[in-house]
Structure 1
Amino acid sequence: MKKLILNRRAFLGTAAATGATLASPAYLRRSYAAGGEVNIWTYANFVPDEFKEQFESETGIKVNVRLVDDQGKQFNLLAAEADNPTVDIMTVAGHRFLQFIDSDLLAPMDPTRLSNWGNINPVYSESDWSTINGNKWGAPILSGMEVFAYNTEVISPEEATTWDTLFSDKYAGQSAYVLQDMLSIVMLMKGYDGNMVAYLDDPEKAAAIVAEARDFLIEKKPLVRKYYDGGAEVQQMFINQDIVMACAWNGPIASLMSDGFPVAMSIPKQGSYGFVYTYNIANNAPNEDNAYTFLNAILASGEIGASMSRASGFISTYKDASQHLTDAEKASTSFPEEELANMRFFRAEANKMKYELVDPAVEEIKAA
């Protein structure tokens, strides 16, 4: 098994180069051309260049993109503008909705103004995290999640269907995970709500559940090679053959797969947690009509979703995006429907209580 030296710049260049020009979907008619502009704060590659050019040509609406790299910074920028935002659309992760909503920074999303809303996989658009106070707050576009990552030369696809493999004696000393993330997954494995939302009115039960997950991970501590902290670290452990499996975010593993390393990923049958990037409309957006025109256009086809996924490395939320990906791209940026059904999403309602319990548990596991 060969070892690879990761070159993220080369990977991104390759991904960009393989993005074919988007075919022109019939999502707009020149009779609807509105002119003006739409201002978007988003991450790199979340608005495909080909789509932007086509949209501007067909509508006369100029798309102004400001790149962001952090949810907290974006919140502070928007909060500073308060009731007079300069932005129309921003990209908020679903588990950060409450912070923006409670500060009156987002406008409720009106799906009836989006004829292409149905192109989003309902796993994302209709999940419990997406509706707060009776309203939708964003259009899901891309997703990231905790996956079971495994070396395909050692671990079989069947073994990768369960988190139990991560804790098996067979692979002792050949696994890695982020402790805080693993605690949520262990709670899910044991049939509990790892988001702790179900226990907001029963803090004693919440404490008992976290303690049970903590004790399980202490018991299994001799089997783990390392508790790691970041994506680059888990990548390097796979490359150095220090580990053959891990609980990891899909993005770093997708990069390894794209570089040809023999690794794959699954969402085990006990479930996992993920987050979704959404396009959201700012409260008092200066160009609200143009914002809805843009959103309806970018939701128009799986081909657009595939282009976003290919460029960003995240998983498209569009129903038929995978039809427009190569087999290699599908392997790194999509999952079978039956696996997606196992996924839960991080929610924020109980975060204060959750992390007051989880953070000390992490330290106790490390010290055990």
Structure 2
Amino acid sequence: MKRGKRGIIYWFSISSLILLAGFILGGCNQEGKSKEDEKAVNIFNWSQYIPDHVIEKFEEETGIKVNYDTYASNEEMYAKLSAGQSGYDVVVPTLYYLEIMEKQGMLEKINKDNLPHLKNIDQDFMGLYVDPKNDYSVPFMWGTGIIAVNEKLIDKEVTGYKDLFDPQFKNSIVASDDMRFVLGAMLAMEGNDPNTQDEKQIEEAGKRMKELLPNIKLFDNESPKTVLANNEVKAGILYGGEAILAQRENPDIKLVLPKEYLLLWQENLVIPKGAPHKENAEKFIDFLLQPEISKEITMSYPYGNPNKEALKLLPEDLRSLIELPTDELKRGIYAKDVGEATAIYDRVWAEVKQ
């Protein structure tokens, strides 16, 4: 049948629209498919928590590409996730930030059927007050906030935080850049609750910390072990794993469980709300729960390990370093969500560091 000019134009217009719609729908379907089926997982974690060779082994075994970003504080992690869709599939908050994120509906429920190795986690670390059924979190690491001293560079015994105010420590202490850890130590030193929400007590802790500032050489959450091991400072207020790493390099380093306050912390693997690769996230989490893999992580970064089967594989000398005696464990205190008082801690900490 012969078409007129207008008919030809009309036919091409309709055909073009159909083709365009097909491309758009095809593109949408492809995009949806790529998000669901993409062989990738996006991790947001503390620095120096998972060694490169563990990541590489996961990629080799699963064919899933790991995109790995790091943060230096819970506050940094929380700010990024609170800003909107971050695109991350796994993050690792400390217990009290897990509490905040769960309250605010920021987490996906984990499908435990996809975690056959969850059985390896010691029950002592499961079912804590924040997530009693572990619907949203899997214990990953735990540890303490302690003091480390270089015995070769000092001439006194250090048993607690009060000893660090001695003038011989002038400009020679590295301190964790963690307000709840450090201000908690100052609160406990004065006989107050490290989780207090009392503004006056928090401000007094800030004043006490300012008195210690002449002795603080630097605040460092990334690698405080470096200056400690290199004899650049005489002491450190830091996490136990960092102190052990410093001691590996420098046998003059001694670890001290401070008498006034023993901070306990636990890091947890969680999946943020709207994670683009949830199944891959669960594969990654379960991979980390394998005893041999968990052991490799602890060998590289000697923090406390809640994986009871991995602990059996560790050298006895390392295991004795990362485990706490029962009496010490009982006096340990976890940092908890302090609600609106967080703003007071933020302000006081900013004043300390200005």
> Which TM-score applies when normalising by structure 2?
0.64
Q: Which residue of 2 aligns with 1:46?
A: 50
CA contact (8 A) 1:188 1:270 kept: yes
| Distance in structure 1 (CA, Å) of the matches to 2:200 and 2:161 | 22
Go from structure 1 to structure 2 and tell me whether the alpha carbon gap of 1:100 and 1:150 turns closer, same or farther (over 3 Å shift): same
Q: Which residue of 2 aligns with 1:68?
A: 69
Q: Which residue of 1 aligns with 2:23?
A: none
CA apart distance, 1:247:
1.6
- Partner SS state of residue 281, structure 1: coil
Q: Which residue of 2 aligns with 1:149?
A: 148
CA contact (8 A) 2:187 2:205 kept: yes
CA contact (8 A) 1:123 1:340 kept: no
| Distance in structure 1 (CA, Å) of the matches to 2:226 and 2:154 | 17
CA apart distance, 1:187:
1.7
Matched to 1:281, the amino acid is I
Go from structure 1 to structure 2 and tell me whether the alpha carbon gap of 1:322 and 1:48 turns closer, same or farther (over 3 Å shift): farther
- Partner SS state of residue 293, structure 2: helix
Q: 2:305 aligns with which of 304, 316, 324?
A: 316
Q: Which residue of 2 aligns with 1:209?
A: 201
Identity percentage over the alignment?
15
| Distance in structure 2 (CA, Å) of the matches to 1:258 and 1:362 | 33
The answer as to 2:321 corresponding to 1:336 is no
CA contact (8 A) 2:202 2:344 kept: no
Q: Which residue of 2 aligns with 1:260?
A: 250
CA apart distance, 1:285:
4.6
Q: Which residue of 2 aligns with 1:194?
A: 194
Q: Residues 244-279 of structure 1: CA distance to partner in whole angstroms, max 9, x if unpaired? A: x33223454333223234213243344333544322
Q: Which residue of 1 aligns with 2:108?
A: 107
Task: Report the RMSD for the aligned CA atoms in angstroms.
Answer: 4.6
- Partner SS state of residue 316, structure 1: coil
| Distance in structure 2 (CA, Å) of the matches to 1:94 and 1:112 | 23
Aligned residues: 308
- Pairing of 1:204-243 with structure 2 (within 5 A): 206-214=198-206, 221=212, 225-226=215-216, 228-230=218-220, 235-236=226-227, 239-240=230-231, 243=234
Q: Which residue of 2 aligns with 1:307?
A: 296
CA contact (8 A) 2:54 2:293 kept: no
- Partner SS state of residue 188, structure 2: helix
Bigger-Rg structure (1/2): 2
| Distance in structure 1 (CA, Å) of the matches to 2:38 and 2:113 | 23
| Distance in structure 2 (CA, Å) of the matches to 1:261 and 1:289 | 44
| Distance in structure 2 (CA, Å) of the matches to 1:274 and 1:217 | 20
CA contact (8 A) 2:149 2:255 kept: yes
| Distance in structure 1 (CA, Å) of the matches to 2:143 and 2:208 | 26
Go from structure 1 to structure 2 and tell me whether the alpha carbon gap of 1:320 and 1:366 turns closer, same or farther (over 3 Å shift): same
Q: Which runs of 5+ in 2 are unaligned?
A: 1-36
Q: Which residue of 2 aligns with 1:295?
A: 285
- Partner SS state of residue 186, structure 1: helix
CA contact (8 A) 2:85 2:274 kept: no
Go from structure 1 to structure 2 and tell me whether the alpha carbon gap of 1:144 and 1:308 turns closer, same or farther (over 3 Å shift): same
CA contact (8 A) 1:214 1:361 kept: yes
| Distance in structure 1 (CA, Å) of the matches to 2:345 and 2:55 | 45
Q: Residues 310-356 of structure 1: CA distance to partner in whole angstroms, max 9, x if unpaired? A: 33454433235444334665577x23243444433333443x42442
CA apart distance, 1:51:
7.9
| Distance in structure 2 (CA, Å) of the matches to 1:362 and 1:294 | 36
Q: Residues 126-183 of structure 1: CA distance to partner in whole angstroms, max 9, x if unpaired? A: 444x428x76432121245421112245789xx66544544579x6659636494432
Q: Which runs of 5+ in 1 are unaligned?
A: 1-34, 200-205
Go from structure 1 to structure 2 and tell me whether the alpha carbon gap of 1:99 and 1:238 turns closer, same or farther (over 3 Å shift): same
Matched to 1:46, the amino acid is I
Go from structure 1 to structure 2 and tell me whether the alpha carbon gap of 1:291 and 1:47 turns closer, same or farther (over 3 Å shift): farther
Q: Residues 182-229 of structure 1: CA distance to partner in whole angstroms, max 9, x if unpaired? A: 321122344533233xx4xxxxxx0232244356557x659x633532
| Distance in structure 1 (CA, Å) of the matches to 2:283 and 2:267 | 19
| Distance in structure 2 (CA, Å) of the matches to 1:277 and 1:319 | 16
Matched to 2:173, the amino acid is A
- Pairing of 1:112-151 with structure 2 (within 5 A): 114-122=115-123, 124-128=125-129, 130-131=130-131, 136-143=135-142, 145-151=144-150
